[in-house]
Homo-oligomer: A and B are copies of this chain.
Amino acid sequence: MPELRKDPIISRWVIISSERGKRPINFSEKMTTTSSQACPFCPGNESATPREIAAYRSDNSEANSPGWTLRVVSNKYPALIVEGTLQREPVGIYDRMSGIGAHEVIIETPDHDCGLVDLEPQLIRDVLWAYRERYLDLQRDSRFKYILIFKNQGGPAGASVDHSHSQLIATPIIPKRVAEELAGSKKYYDYKERCIFCDIIRQEIIDKSRIVSESDSFIALAPYASRFPFETWLMPKSHLSNYTDTDPDALDELARILKEVLARLKAGLDNPSYNYILHTSPIGNEYRDYFHWHIEIIPKLTRVAGFEWGTGFYINPTRPEDAAKFLRELTVPGTK
């Protein structure tokens, strides 16, 4: 049974999940290149995953069989488990919680060799729609405080299966970084009575130097204090606290700009591995005024060294203005 343990000094929760130690790639630095025959996410291999939670499939195809275009399953090696009650207890001066949560995989395409960036916009929109559906379903579970959606693309970015997929983890705690964003944006709101993300967007639209791409409702930019070269944030221009507050019709536009940003990174940086993380407000309404959902996209270009690990203090060798200009000025097929 996994457990959640709290660092007593900085109040960071860590998942101790020794079950997960049984994963095939444990401790390996190797890139796993699963062939489509062995790939648990390929059509025909549905029995290699836990039973599907949801799928977008042709009308006459059966659950857990081919015929799908997108499939959601539980993670076979879950970091947290969904069954059980949430127990909190002290361990001397320490604090622990049972490792209750959900850990799901969103298989984005049946095509083993097709990255998210290569999908047609309407299929990327399906992925964004699946995020929404899973969020709406899981937020009804009162044990959960946060639903985290992220994507690891490529071995160096931590993917253990190279068939394109996203992951979702629902947790009984608010992850530390999100808690910091909530605290920081609340502090700003308390002082200014405005959302800090909205103010950032206003300044960036005037300044222009850090914009990677822009559409009617969304903006992609290199943040002023980027930790990593070519770090790119994608956010709605209007104030929206939770991802599910987004007008469903706007997901088409979001799919197009996400595809475009990923295509710029792919073309400009030689198809890099990358991570993205959807930062949305925790479950509940109290964050509505001051938090603003966004997607943080981080291409995996520099090795992060001990200095960064141990300090939360990053050295970025590329000015965000230079990164944004480079990405913005690329000619990418299918974009204006």
Known contacts A152-B305, A317-B17, A10 near B181 by CB under 8 Å: yes
A61 within 8 A of B: no
Q: Which residue of B lies closest to A311 (CB)?
A: B175
State the oligomeric state as a number of copies: 2
Query: B277–A17 contact, CB under 8 A?
Result: no
Task: Give complex CA distance A308, B167 in Å.
Answer: 13
A179 to chain B: closest CB distance in Å?
Answer: 8
Q: Which residue of B lies closest to A148 (CB)?
A: B311
Query: A313–B8 contact, CB under 8 A?
Result: no
Task: Give complex CA distance A200, B92 in Å.
Answer: 9
Task: Give complex CA distance A21, B315 in Å.
Answer: 10
Identify which of A104-112, A134-142, A155-163 touches chain B.
A155-163
Query: A184–B9 contact, CB under 8 A?
Result: yes
A14 within 8 A of B: yes
Q: Which residue of B lies closest to A275 (CB)?
A: B306
Residues of chain B contacted by A176 (CB below 8 angstroms)? 311-313
A residues sitting closer than 8 Å to B (CB atoms) are 5-18, 20-21, 23, 26-27, 29, 79, 91-94, 148, 150-152, 155-159, 167, 169, 171, 173, 175-178, 180-181, 183-185, 188, 196-197, 199-200, 203, 207, 223-227, 229, 275-277, 279, 296, 298, 301-320, 322
Q: Which residue of B lies closest to A156 (CB)?
A: B29
Query: A207–B306 contact, CB under 8 A?
Result: no
Could you list 5 further interchain pairs (A-B, Cβ under 8 angstroms) beyond the known A8-B200, A15-B315, A177-B312?
A: A7-B225, A9-B184, A21-B317, A152-B306, A276-B310
Known contacts A10-B177, A150-B310, A315 near B20 by CB under 8 Å: yes
Residues of chain B contacted by A197 (CB below 8 angstroms)? 9
Max count, chain B CB within 10 A of own CB: residue among A9, A156, A320: A9
Task: Give complex CA distance A301, B155 in Å.
Answer: 14
A175 to chain B: closest CB distance in Å?
Answer: 4
Known contacts A94-B224, A177-B10, A185-B9, A15 near B306 by CB under 8 Å: no
Query: A225–B310 contact, CB under 8 A?
Result: no
Query: A18–B92 contact, CB under 8 A?
Result: no
A285 to chain B: closest CB distance in Å?
Answer: 21
A276 to chain B: closest CB distance in Å?
Answer: 7
Task: Give complex CA distance A175, B314 in Å.
Answer: 9
Residues of chain B contacted by A303 (CB below 8 angstroms)? 29, 155-156, 158
Residues of chain B contacted by A196 (CB below 8 angstroms)? 8-9, 93
Find A14's partner among B23, B226, B322 (CB 8 Å cutoff).
B226
Query: B277–A319 contact, CB under 8 A?
Result: no
Known contacts A7-B223, A150-B306, A180-B10, A93 near B312 by CB under 8 Å: no
Query: B93–A199 contact, CB under 8 A?
Result: yes
